[in-house]
Amino acid sequence: MTQSNRIKGGLIDRSQQLGFTFNGKPMQGHPGDTLASALLANGQRLVGRSFKYHRPRGIFTAGSEEPNALVQLRTGAHQEPNTRATTSELFDGLTAISQNHRGPLEFDLMAVTGLLSPFLSAGFYYKTFMWPKAFWEKIYEPVIRMSAGLGSLSKLDDPDIYDKGFLHCDILIIGAGPTGLEAALTAGRSGARVIIADEDFVIGGRLNAETCEIADGPGADWARHATTELASMDNVRVMPRTTVYGAYDHGVYGALERCTDHLGDSSGKPRQVLWRIYAKRSILCAGATERPIAFGNNDRPGVMLAGAVRTYVNRFGVAPGRTVAIFTNNDDGWRTASDLAAKGVDISAIIDSRNQDAPTQIADARVVMGGRVVDTSGRKGLTSVTLANGEKVTADCLAVSGGWSPNVHLTCHQRGRPIWRDDIAAFVPGADLPDGMIVAGAANGTLTLAAGLADGRDKATELVKGLGFTASKTPAIVAQDEPADLSAFWHVAASRKPAWLDLQNDVTVKDIKQAHAEGFRSVEHLKRYTTLGMATDQGKTANIPALAIMADISGKTIPETGTTIFRPPYTPVPIGALAGRARGSGFRPVRHTPSHKWAEANGATFVETGNWLRAQWYARDGEKGWRDSVDREVTMTRASVGICDVTTLGKIDIQGRDAAEFLNHIYTNAFLKLPVGKVRYGLMLREDGVAYDDGTTARLGENHFVMTTTTANAVLVFRRMEFARQCLWPGLDVHMISVTDGWAQFAVAGPNARKLIQKVVDCDVSNDAFPFMACAQTTAFNTTPARLFRISFSGELAYEIAVPARYGNAMMGALMQAGKEFDAVPYGTEALGVMRIEKGHAAGNELNGQTTATNLGLGGFVSAKKDCIGKVLSQRPEMMRDDAIRLVGFKPVDHSKQLIAGAHFITRGDAANMANDQGWMSSVTYSPTLGHSIGLGFIKRGHERMGEVVTATSPARGGDVQVEITSPHFYDPEGGRQRG
Amino acid sequence: MIINHPLLGPRDASEFVYLGDASLINRPDPDAQNAAELFHTYSYERANPAGEHRELWYHEQGDRSWLVVTRNTLTHAITEVEMARDVALKQGRDR
């Protein structure tokens, strides 16, 4: 196919040909074309099928408001559905296919739904698919899913890169039409930092689409010169292909820059960048969007907005039709006629709804004043239009203008409500604008050129002065205001045929009437019931005419009827851009323990614990599964010595004259008299009295403590302690810092731990010199600063040794080397967990936000002599009931049975129901030390029921197990080993 | 949103963690006769105003200051930002 509809002129580079395909058909275009202009140049009027009725549809606009021309761009993993052909820049090799049809575009098998349209009107889902109920899942839903929806996803990973960025400026100018450019020139010349952004790839807005003149030359030339001047200023950033899509609090704006969408290959550069722009002030110069008039069969390919027809003719050098008719209610529509005539395109008729004299004379064009288009003909493209008197006028393109609606969208993003202006029959921005925003030009209802330029200049001058800059004294530029008389006209009432309002959602005038008749009279209800204004175009061309019709039906004015306000985004933002680099492994950073490399080299299997990656176990040759490895690690640790990286526990360094008193407020138990060189277990509550976190705190000096927290709560505990320090007890002299990442810490546990540690550290670790719960600052291997704590999570004779994190990997190797003679093993988080359950220590499963100190058997840790966070409410009667659940141990009566975490306890013989619930199993493990399964759990009055057998029931996961209640301390209950 | 930190100047709200009503500073006297009642009110009862609200924000991705921010919950307009420690001291909190 050749470019049969290409005419002279336009801002395209005819010296270069670009090849592309549409539905596999090869076509040609030029740099500067959009896909839409190239399709029209190639005579392709039918570009898609409508959402509901699968009606043939063509290109309706020339911008981001496009409801019809949505295509699937590119192929394979790069495939992108619902791309507007009107904003997609043409590149060589582009492939596009049309959407929403079964079989070829020309013979859509689903078009039969059009015949069913009487049954598919507003609310049809709610009415039609109600019965029979059984039909829903098997028949209705699959059929609806097949017929609805627009494009389809590739279902492959997106191979493109998306970035995020931050920009700051004094003045953000949104939209680079005449008003925006003049505002940017004014602000830029004053020295203010300016960002001017426009969604189009050519700066200039309507100047590129019109034949108007500025400073005695074409408007498009002025726009080009203005852009050059702006680009030469260091304080100005010109951002084409950038949509400012949202206005957020305090002068923050979201913007999407399409960096390489217009290239066949992004060459590894980001495809799009999502910008967060911080602007002291902004000027919204977003222009206006033309709206259609509703009449019978107004959705045929070839029916197009009049301003879009001018854009194709003037900017792209394309005639959207050979014989064009015009239907308008305003002077602006007439400009279409004069522009077409100037390019030699035939005009068959100008139909003006106004009962007045023709505003101008257009040679050879038939003029019908007070006229109406009631119907159109042409199956897959317009062939003629029918006037009210039945006369048919030949036309393969009908340019429609119902006036222009200011693009007030961003002014609504902070709850601003637009107000109605009768003289232009449109909503303009109201008083409640986002912080720092003013509106100029067409977006503010100033729809003509000279007035718009002046408005941009004046508003920018006002802003730069307010920011302390001196406005430049460049003389005002010369331009003319175009005629812009308009008489509101929304709908040809004489039309009997369906008249479309929302082309994307197939909403007709009849649907609005029906919604009204059924009582959906609020604008918000109307929208949701009819789907008007939804989907990718958000009703940019449909909302105002629909509102006008609603007002007409209900006998109210438009402002009385109301308007839906707009939320971000102005145009769709790809999920990929919102995600940026935060996908796959970039979604969340991974924290490696200091000995990660050593663990990797020694066969560790890793597990994610929060952001951390920790060694879970270290498999050895011949082991058949994780249980073999874990059992061996436990057994060898209990027999000799094992080593585990415990760096992930939170570490908080606390210093100050009042550090001890501060800890007294934080922990339930007393810390004031903890001697220097000693460690103490501490329990924290929430202020409501529920147990929160636990850990050990070492007193390294009179005014110096190091606290450990659980891995999961490291950040939260620190945050709460800062709150306590700054807000609750601000008079205390105490300071703290998180040192979790500063120190690598290793547990060295087992009967030979002392012998091993003595080889490493340079202090006496005999039981007399360094007893259980001692701590010291020392050195390792004569040189490395180290902290040594005699604490035990495993129940063994154990130490934890900390060295600066950078020595962590070497330390792990050195400890293993020193332990070689004792057959030392590294152990992972599984063996750690097994040993803590054998020892009966509470962990996250037990400190689950529902349990109290009493429940945990730690009631004695709540000091009666002092206050602490949570103490008062922990003493409430309900928190201290005699029959409260208690943490105890459980073992199966039949040792071959496995226990199940989450099982609930029922007194033997009772029915397994909520009324008989006695508590639950919180942690279970196979104990290699005891040779059977063991568990920790909570059961009512558990501490008084030792030896009782109850039923642990888990109906969903394997039935009942008879369990005996025991002490939670399965292993060495007297603690002789850890103290030895 | 942008919070004008008294020490660090304007900072993006994403650097902060939100806690809630600034009345959390007023932890009751644990030795009061009706301490349980006072702590109940302190822990569970908060005003939820449509309008001006004094609330606590924590500059976790910054200098770790707790701030008292006076924010209109309808418009997000922030009219005052104070160091929570100063507020607490002014209200007579000490040790």
ipTM: 0.99
Taking residues A248-256, what's their average pLDDT? 97
CA A853 to chain centre: 40
Q: Write out the CATH class of domain A597-854.
A: alpha beta
**Cβ-defined contact of B88 to A867 (cutoff 8 Å):** no
CA distance A851 to chain B (A): 17
Percentage of residues in chain A having pLDDT higher than 90: 86
Residue A324 has pLDDT above 70, yes or no: yes
Return the pLDDT at A955.
87
With contacts defined as CB-CB under 8 Å, which chain A residues touch B35? 872
Residue A1 has pLDDT above 60, yes or no: no
Percentage of residues in chain A having pLDDT higher than 70: 96
Residue A760 has pLDDT above 90, yes or no: yes
Of A7-11, A72-76, A472-476, the one with minimum mean pLDDT is A472-476
**Cβ-defined contact of B2 to A252 (cutoff 8 Å):** yes
Q: Could you tell me the pLDDT band of residue A79, with boundaries at 50, 70 and 90?
A: very high
Residue A137 has pLDDT above 80, yes or no: no
**Cβ-defined contact of A252 to B1 (cutoff 8 Å):** yes
Closest CA to A791 of A731, A729, A858, A708: A708
Q: Could you tell me the pLDDT band of residue A170, with boundaries at 50, 70 and 90?
A: very high
Taking residues A67-87, what's their average pLDDT? 94
B1 — contact with chain A (CB < 8 Å)? Answer: yes
According to DSSP, the residues that pair with A288 across neighbouring strands are A406
- State the Cα–Cα distance between residues B24 and A727, nearest whole angstrom: 8
Taking residues A603-624, what's their average pLDDT? 96
With contacts defined as CB-CB under 8 Å, which chain B residues touch A252? 1-2, 12
Q: Per-residue pLDDT tens for A817-846? A: 999 999 999 999 999 999 999 999 999 999
Residue A138 has pLDDT above 80, yes or no: no
Return the pLDDT at A149.
59
Strands A691-701 and A704-709: antiparallel
Q: Per-residue pLDDT tens for A226-247? A: 999 999 999 999 999 999 999 9
A167 — contact with chain B (CB < 8 Å)? Answer: no
Return the pLDDT at A62.
98
Q: Per-residue pLDDT tens for A265-298? A: 999 999 999 999 999 999 999 999 999 999 999 9
With contacts defined as CB-CB under 8 Å, which chain B residues touch A731? 89, 93-95
Q: Could you tell me the pLDDT band of residue A523, with boundaries at 50, 70 and 90?
A: confident
B73 — contact with chain A (CB < 8 Å)? Answer: no
- Domains of chain B from N-terminus onward: 2-90 (3.30.2270.10)
* φ and ψ at residue A159, rounded to 5 degrees: -80, -5
Residue A144 has pLDDT above 90, yes or no: no
More confident residue, A144 or A812: A812
Considering chain A, tell me which residue range(s) the CATH 2.40.30.110 domain(s) occupy: 881-979
Return the pLDDT at A82.
92
From 3.90.245.10, 3.90.1580.10, 3.40.50.300, 3.50.50.60, which CATH number describes the A162-288+406-466 domain?
Answer: 3.50.50.60
Residue to test with chain B: of A414, A734, A872, A875, most B Cβ within 10 A: A872
Taking residues A381-407, what's their average pLDDT? 96
Return the pLDDT at A115.
62
Structural element, H or E, at residue A349: strand A346-352
Q: Per-residue pLDDT tens for A684-730? A: 999 999 999 999 999 999 999 999 999 999 999 999 999 999 999 99
- State the Cα–Cα distance between residues A306 and A397, nearest whole angstrom: 10
A657 — contact with chain B (CB < 8 Å)? Answer: no
Return the pLDDT at A116.
62
CATH superfamily of A290-404+485-514+535-561: FAD/NAD(P)-binding domain (3.50.50.60)
Considering chain A, tell me which residue range(s) the CATH 3.50.50.60 domain(s) occupy: 162-288+406-466, 290-404+485-514+535-561
Q: Per-residue pLDDT tens for A867-926? A: 999 999 999 999 888 899 999 999 999 999 999 999 999 999 999 999 999 999 999 999
Return the pLDDT at A130.
62
CA distance A873 to chain B (A): 6
Considering chain A, tell me which residue range(s) the CATH 3.30.1360.120 domain(s) occupy: 597-854
CA distance A436 to chain B (A): 12
Of A176-190, A473-487, A696-710, A943-957, the one with minimum mean pLDDT is A473-487
Residue A129 has pLDDT above 70, yes or no: no
Return the pLDDT at A473.
80
A879 — contact with chain B (CB < 8 Å)? Answer: no
Tokens matching residue A625: 């599964």
- State the Cα–Cα distance between residues A377 and A387, nearest whole angstrom: 12
Tokens matching residue A772: 């259980």
**Cβ-defined contact of A726 to B89 (cutoff 8 Å):** no
Considering chain A, tell me which residue range(s) the CATH 3.10.20.440 domain(s) occupy: 18-107
Distances (CA, A) of A666 to A685, A717, B27: 8, 10, 14
From 3.40.50.300, 3.10.20.440, 3.30.450.20, 3.40.50.720, which CATH number describes the A18-107 domain?
Answer: 3.10.20.440
Residue A126 has pLDDT above 70, yes or no: no
Q: Could you tell me the pLDDT band of residue A145, with boundaries at 50, 70 and 90?
A: low
Residue-wise DSSP of B38-82: HHHHHHH-----SSEEEEEEE-TTTT--EEEEEEETTT--EEEEE
More confident residue, A52 or A425: A425
Ramachandran assignment for A622, one of left (phi > 0), alpha (psi -120 to 50 degrees), beta (any other): left
Nearest-CB residue to B25 (from A727, A867, A876): A727
Beta-strand runs (E) in A750-892: 775-780, 784-789, 798-804, 825-826, 885-892
Residues A17 and A30: beta-carbon distance below 8 Å = yes
- State the Cα–Cα distance between residues A447 and A340, nearest whole angstrom: 22
Residue A690 CB contacts under 8 Å (≥ 6 apart), including other chains: A849, A850, A851, A852, A870, A874
**Cβ-defined contact of A726 to B84 (cutoff 8 Å):** yes
Contacts of range A679-685, beta carbons closer than 8 Å, 24 or more positions apart = A679/A773, A679/A774, A679/A775, A679/A789, A679/A790, A679/A791, A680/A773, A681/A861, A682/A707, A683/A853, A683/A858, A683/A861, A683/A862, A684/A717, A684/A869, A684/A870, A685/A853, A685/A862, A685/A868, A685/A869, A685/A870, A685/A871, A685/A874
Q: Which fold has domain A881-979?
A: Elongation Factor Tu (Ef-tu); domain 3 (2.40.30)
Rounded mean pLDDT of chain A? 94
With contacts defined as CB-CB under 8 Å, which chain B residues touch A687? 27, 39, 42-43
